[in-house]
DNA sequence: CTGAAAGCGCTTACAG
DNA sequence: CTGAAAGCGCTTACAG
């Protein structure tokens, strides 16, 4: 390898001073400050390309204090919704002229401190957090606050105290539940995590609101459900039951829990009219249980999910679900953050977008 | 925000020279070069923590030329095998004392140049490429070669010209096919991509080798399969057919193609004894088609996959598959790369590990 | 319109 | 065992 080509190399080759070259090739040039004679500028540009000049980003950062990077923090990309959100966030960051520094927190176990400190040390100018998990808390956001780095969250939880852009999950579950009632379903079982974050409480509240004045709604922890559901479903009229299953950080682990739960209900001939699963991952677990037990969907038990996963499109599944339109939230979040960085306007503010119901065969009566 | 705490801040607070402090707090210290009196060292350490000193990584890079970063390039994390590989690679990079800079190329469309150049500009010391796609070629590796950055690949293709650590896919498909024969299956349909990269040719060769002397093997492009398979499967004895379906970069798109292909065969009552799907994603497509057409697995048609995806564990699927043991390859690749960076030994060399067959109900006769 | 100079925070020989 | 000094590649006032 030959020696690095720097601004000085280009200047020497042209008989100009490093400063002049710096004006053209430096990061200040992009921001269009000073002007040079178009001729000189062109000569410098041409020579830089000829010699293969590459700016030294580390040196630029040391001198200017601007890294031109925005961090994207997410919590594992196996989920399709998560992947779509991350992809949209990254694309918008690049479109806005920043580099995207991506960190998958699920690769680091519970040791969040180290990767977050690495971001601070990389001097990222802003942070977008995508689809937050329970383990990520205020104290983690504080690491950025202390360094003066603005943070915004997509589909997260307001409790961590940063502006939140998300889909209106409560409204979606309200409409999903109304749809179930319209289909004639009377015994409704909503399966959610046993945590009280926004995505989960939103689901519960939407479900509750839709059943107001229609019938009874009971909230039952996973451990008691086997004992209480059989009696509940025998009540007259509309019965809504919220089953709270243990929060498991790993998608598949939660899917298995839902599967085992549904499988038991099916074996005991205690199926609800409709399963409203917290997401498509969980719905898949219910479906696997139904297949195993020989129950037909929707003839023997109806089913809905959330997230618009790909498998739901197959005729064999034809899963009623919700498209959260994550890319809309993603773009909005990045735009707010960038506008804040460019000091165009002061505050970032939380916002909710409506999601889109996809009514398919699995929820029919 | 107050002023940044630098080595000089610490030195001033202690009445020492910046050089002395640098010896303790600098990145050279980690590599254990010079020694100071334990007392002074302790005082410096304590004061650094007290003031909240954070090393400026950009300045360290400018001066030393070492970024202490290894890049992980991958092509989308929706696949479970890919996620597991990436996670294992990242973990090993951190364990070896480097920072992991991850880039998801699937977020950048076909514009590979920009993100790769960003890695060069970030001065990463080495690169691990995980689960390469067709679109990534020699010319992309050349970007790193030109910058003198060593590259190693996990589960990729040898044609791009870098050392390759992978599982022995040919051997796995050989054993899978032998297993199918032992189960009494006589009409075998292998579904693969229509590309000639290592993972695909490995599958084909393993299949071929297992059927050598047993019967006829034909290779049929996706477009002709509908016309040729019905006749093929009526031949006497063992018949192996390799169906080459169009390569589609997106997992779900390929899954749909396999689904549509299988669905057509099932409708026409032209099912093979066993479908050997190129991976579990494709196997899922076959399964969806079977469900839709009312065919039971394995009673009416047997099925196998590759990759040990989670859904295969459910009794409703009970999918025979292969665990490629990706984390073993991942660890080996990172170790070779790091050993090269530390100049402990010269050359990195390609290596294959055996995969593990998981025989379940879906492949029984 | 161009150049000389200072300095970001650090590392790395080289002296004492 | 500690300190003075040079310099990595760049940006940013400040002169001319």
Assess whether A13 (CB) lies less than 7 A from strand C. Answer: no
The answer to whether the CB of A241 falls within 8 A of the CB of A232 is yes
Give the confidence band of A250 by pLDDT, cuts at 50, 70, 90. Answer: confident
Directed axis angle between helix A7-14 and helix A18-25, to 10°?
Answer: 120
* pLDDT tens track for B94-103: 999 999 999 9
Bases of chain D with protein Cβ within 7 A = 1-5, 7-13
* pLDDT tens track for A199-229: 999 999 999 999 999 999 999 998 898 889 9
Identify whether B152 is preceded by a cis peptide bond (ω within 30 of 0).
Answer: no
Give the confidence band of A365 by pLDDT, cuts at 50, 70, 90. Answer: confident
pLDDT of residue B42: 82
Nearest of B169, B176, B241, B219 to residue B199 by alpha carbon:
B169
Answer whether A80 sits within 8 Å of B77, measured CB to CB: no
Distance, in angstroms, between B68 CA and closest chain A CA?
A: 12
Higher-scoring residue by pLDDT: B41, B200? B200
pLDDT of residue A111: 85
- A101-110, A231-240, B60-69, B311-320 — which one is most confidently predicted on average? B311-320
E-only strand ranges, B93-194: 99-104, 126-130, 151-154, 164-167, 187-193
Distance, in angstroms, between B209 CA and closest chain A CA?
A: 34
B65 touching chain A per CB within 8 A: no
pLDDT of residue A308: 96
Distance, in angstroms, between A217 CA and closest chain B CA?
A: 31
Give the confidence band of B1 by pLDDT, cuts at 50, 70, 90. Answer: very low
CA of B63 to C1' of D7 (A): 8
pLDDT of residue A1: 40
Q: Nearest nt to B21, CA vs C1'? A: D2
* pLDDT tens track for B224-250: 988 899 999 999 999 999 999 998 878
- Residue with smallest Cα–C1' gap to D2: B20
Helix, strand, coil shares, percent, chain B, to 5? 50, 20, 35
C-alpha atoms less than 13 angstroms from C-alpha of B133 in its C-beta half-sphere = 19
Higher-scoring residue by pLDDT: B27, A151? A151
The answer to whether the CB of A61 falls within 8 A of the CB of A302 is no
Counting residues of chain B whose pLDDT is more than 70, the rounded percentage is 95
Distance, in angstroms, between A329 CA and closest chain B CA?
A: 17
- To the nearest whole number, what is the mean pLDDT of chain B? 91
| Mean pLDDT of all residues in A92-99 | 93
In the predicted structure, residue B298 carries a pLDDT above the cut 90: yes
Residues 27-56, chain B, touching A (beta carbon < 8 A): 54-56
A113/A293 Cα distance (integer angstroms): 45
The CB density around residue A236, as the number of other CB atoms within 10 Å, is: 8
Q: Helix, strand, or coil here: A191? A: strand
Residues 302-341, chain B, touching A (beta carbon < 8 A): 310-311, 314-317
CA of B340 to C1' of D8 (A): 25
B199/B197 Cα distance (integer angstroms): 6
User: Among A205-219, B5-19, B313-327, which is the least confidently predicted range?
Assistant: B5-19
Q: Helix, strand, or coil here: B237? A: coil
Structure tokens at A262: 């549904």
- Collect all residues of chain B within an 8 Å Cβ-Cβ radius of residue A360: none
**Which residues, 6+ apart, have CB-to-CB distance to B184 below 8 Å?**
B273, B365
pLDDT of residue B46: 85
| Mean pLDDT of all residues in A349-359 | 97
| Helix ranges, B275-325 (H) | 280-293
A121 touching chain B per CB within 8 A: yes
pLDDT of residue B43: 83
- Collect all residues of chain B within an 8 Å Cβ-Cβ radius of residue A103: 102
Nearest residue in B to A149, CA atom: B1
Phi and psi of B169, rounded to 5°?
A: -70, -30
pLDDT of residue B218: 93
What is this structure's pTM? 0.91
Higher-scoring residue by pLDDT: B139, A26? B139
Q: Check residue A348 and report its DSSP letter.
A: -
| Mean pLDDT of all residues in B184-213 | 96
The answer to whether the CB of A121 falls within 8 A of the CB of B138 is no
Q: What burial class does residue B274 get, using C-beta atoms within 10 Å of its C-beta: 0-12 exposed, 13-18 middle, 19+ buried?
A: buried
């Amino acid at each position: 390898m030959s020696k690095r080509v720097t601004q000085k190399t280009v200047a020497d080759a042209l008989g100009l001073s490093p400063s002049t070259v710096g004006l053209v090739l430096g990061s200040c040039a992009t921001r269009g400050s000073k002007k040079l004679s178009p001729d000189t500028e062109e000569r410098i540009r041409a020579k830089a390309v000829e010699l293969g000049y590459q700016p030294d980003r580390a040196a630029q950062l040391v001198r200017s204090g601007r890294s031109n990077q925005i961090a994207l923090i997410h919590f594992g990309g196996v989920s399709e919704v998560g992947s779509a959100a991350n992809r949209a966030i990254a694309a918008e960051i690049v479109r806005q002229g920043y580099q995207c520094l991506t960190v998958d927190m699920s690769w680091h176990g519970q040791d969040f401190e180290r990767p977050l400190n690495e971001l601070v040390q990389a001097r990222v100018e802003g942070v977008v957090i995508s689809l937050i998990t329970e383990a990520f808390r205020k104290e983690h956001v504080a690491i950025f606050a202390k360094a003066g780095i603005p943070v915004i969250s997509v589909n997260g939880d307001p409790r961590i105290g940063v502006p939140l852009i998300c889909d209106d999950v409560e409204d979606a579950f309200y409409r999903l539940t109304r749809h179930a009632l319209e289909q004639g379903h009377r015994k409704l079982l909503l399966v959610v995590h046993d945590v009280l974050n926004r995505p989960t409480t939103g689901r519960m509240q939407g479900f509750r609101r839709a059943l107001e004045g229609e019938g009874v709604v009971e909230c039952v922890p996973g451990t008691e459900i086997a004992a209480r559901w059989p009696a509940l479903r025998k009540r007259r009229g509309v019965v809504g039951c919220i089953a709270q299953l243990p929060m498991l950080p790993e998608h598949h682990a939660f899917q298995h829990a839902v599967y085992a739960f549904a499988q038991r209900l099916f074996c005991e001939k205690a199926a609800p009219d409709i399963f409203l699963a917290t997401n498509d991952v969980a719905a898949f677990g219910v479906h696997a249980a139904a297949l195993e037990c020989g129950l037909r969907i929707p003839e023997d038990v109806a089913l809905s999910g959330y997230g618009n996963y790909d498998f739901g499109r197959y005729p064999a599944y034809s899963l009623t679900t919700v498209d959260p339109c994550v890319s809309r939230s993603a773009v909005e979040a990045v735009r707010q953050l960038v506008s804040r960085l460019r000091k165009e306007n002061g505050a970032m503010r939380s916002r909710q977008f409506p999601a889109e119901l996809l009514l398919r065969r699995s929820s029919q009566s």
